[in-house]
Amino acid sequence: MFTLSNLILAGAIALAPAATDVRVRILQDAQPIEVRVSVESGSFTLGANDLVLATLGPGDEAQFTRTRSGVGVRHAGQTRTLRNAVLATVETESTFRLTVTRGQDTIARTYSGALDVRIDVENDQVLLLVNHAPLEAYVAAVVTSEYGLDDVEGRKAMAILARTYALRSLAPPGSEYDHVDSELSQVYKGLAGLDPEAIRAATETTGQVLLFNGALAEAVYHAESGGHTADNDDVWNGEPVAYLRGVPDPFANNSPYASWSFFADRPRLLSRLSAATGSEVRGFVISHRSADGRVARVRLLLTGGTDREVEISGNDFRLAVLREFGASSLRSMLFDVAATPAGYRFTGAGFGHGVGLSQWGAHEMANRGYAYDEIIAFYFRGTELAHVPNLIPQAQRLTAQLPTSVSATQRADSVSRGPGPPRVQEAVSGRRRGRIGW
């Protein structure tokens, strides 16, 4: 038994992650305490700092476990204890299968790129896993998870947005990672179920990003606009952003979310609103709508007097409902509500925050013959597409100087994903560690 400061599993000999990688924290929700890595293809080296300990080929394994004194590493019958462990691969042609076990639950996924394994400084009882993913592989994986509709040009538009988001959201040097693999950033599942058409979309748009005034744009998207996209400042607290202005969206009418209804039990909803505000809520009324019809402000009526009330944003109201009733409850802020003896009947249109690109709208535009650049130009007025070589080294220069439309916490709470069948998801809690998010 001996202690090392860093352990690295790397493709070939190079131990540093490539400059074209994005760093994604993976499987955080699993709270991993034990990780097994098996090489599926290619070659890897196992080492500490500049020391190569072993070469791993297909079928070879390494196991990492959170122990009382650090990270236990087992390979070829030998076990070592480390203070901080790093597991990485830098050969994009090489792949490894990562298996996380937590109690009775097991998650197994295949990844390319690099993987670091460290102790989570915010919860030292679990391991922190960071995949240094090749940028275009990451883009293809995100498009696979985030865009479930069957068209070519919509996928290409999504690839550009996913790439732009990934680069604009790079963390400062010295940070442990740039993104997470859930809806709090963009959904990323490695090579699992990778869609060949998503690979095509990433390949055919390689290096293309969305710019406004020469800087990376906030490439936000949602499932369906309900017939009109939203101004960013009507949804989130922030300054108006010129290219995130709401526009009439005639392409959203053919989605399954063109209209919907939802019933909320009165005691449950009022209890959730009370918990969110710290005061006992006895009812509510819509107090203000934005120009596109979305609920902008909701007045909560408090117990203890007819004049006791507090006003919250429509977005905060929706998030409270989502936390209580789930992602498919109050699908957007384009809604009306009617009180009944048992609760509240909501009727509305659209799915998600409504800012930026509508995925169902993009799908309809593609079906009508629009190209991906036309789709993006429709939803992000005044922006331009650019092909930028050496994207990651230039990302910091292309980011900044533009106002950020929404705080990281608000976007983490407001993100909507996926166009519906086969997948729609909505994040209703969490934070993004202060980075650019949704």
Residue 433 in any domain: the answer is no
Considering the domain architecture, whether residues 249 and 145 belong to the same structural domain is answered as: yes
Examine the fold and report which residue of 125, 149, 184 is the final residue of a domain before the chain moves on: 125
Considering the domain architecture, whether residues 242 and 364 belong to the same structural domain is answered as: yes
Surface-to-core class of residue 93, CB atoms within 10 Å of its CB (0-12 exposed, 13-18 middle, 19+ buried)? exposed
Examine the fold and report which residue of 92, 125, 158 is the final residue of a domain before the chain moves on: 125
Considering the domain architecture, whether residues 279 and 404 belong to the same structural domain is answered as: no
Considering the domain architecture, whether residues 148 and 37 belong to the same structural domain is answered as: no
Name residue 233's amino acid.
D
Neighbouring residues of 178: CB distance < 8 A, sequence distance ≥ 6: 22, 23, 24, 166, 169, 170, 171, 435
- Distance in angstroms (rounded) separating the CA atoms of residues 37 and 101: 12
| Number of folded domains that form the chain | 3
Considering the domain architecture, whether residues 247 and 370 belong to the same structural domain is answered as: yes
Residue 337 in any domain: the answer is yes
Residue 377 in any domain: the answer is yes
Considering the domain architecture, whether residues 118 and 67 belong to the same structural domain is answered as: yes
Q: What is the pLDDT of residue 393?
A: 60
Biggest CA-to-CA distance, the chain: 74
Q: What is the pLDDT of residue 437?
A: 27
Residue 94 in any domain: the answer is yes
Residue 437 in any domain: the answer is no
Considering the domain architecture, whether residues 274 and 296 belong to the same structural domain is answered as: yes
In 110-140, which positions are buried (b, 16+ CB within 10 angstroms) versus exposed (e)? bbbbbbbbbbbeeeeebbbbbbbbbbbbbbb
Residue 422 in any domain: the answer is yes
- Asked whether 44 and 11 are in contact (CB, 8 A), the reply is yes
Residue 133 in any domain: the answer is no
- Distance in angstroms (rounded) separating the CA atoms of residues 112 and 88: 10
Residue 280 in any domain: the answer is yes
Considering the domain architecture, whether residues 247 and 266 belong to the same structural domain is answered as: no
Q: What is the pLDDT of residue 11?
A: 40
Examine the fold and report which residue of 296, 327, 348 is the final residue of a domain before the chain moves on: 348
Considering the domain architecture, whether residues 250 and 265 belong to the same structural domain is answered as: no
Considering the domain architecture, whether residues 10 and 92 belong to the same structural domain is answered as: yes
Considering the domain architecture, whether residues 29 and 101 belong to the same structural domain is answered as: yes
Q: What is the pLDDT of residue 438?
A: 28
Q: What is the pLDDT of residue 417?
A: 37
- Domain extent, residue 401, equals 138-255+353-426
- Distance in angstroms (rounded) separating the CA atoms of residues 104 and 14: 36
Run means of pLDDT, 10 residues per run, the chain, 438 residues: 38 45 93 92 73 81 86 83 61 83 86 86 90 92 95 98 94 89 94 92 95 94 96 92 97 92 97 94 96 96 83 95 95 97 96 96 98 98 88 57 39 37 30 27
Distances (CA, A) of 292 to 46, 348, 364, 373: 57, 13, 21, 25
Closest to 128 measured CA to CA, from 15, 36, 47, 24? 24
Considering the domain architecture, whether residues 292 and 422 belong to the same structural domain is answered as: no
Q: What is the pLDDT of residue 121?
A: 86
Q: What is the pLDDT of residue 436?
A: 25
| Number of neighbours of residue 108 by Cβ within 10 angstroms | 12
**In the 8-state DSSP scheme, what is residue 248?**
B
Surface-to-core class of residue 210, CB atoms within 10 Å of its CB (0-12 exposed, 13-18 middle, 19+ buried)? buried
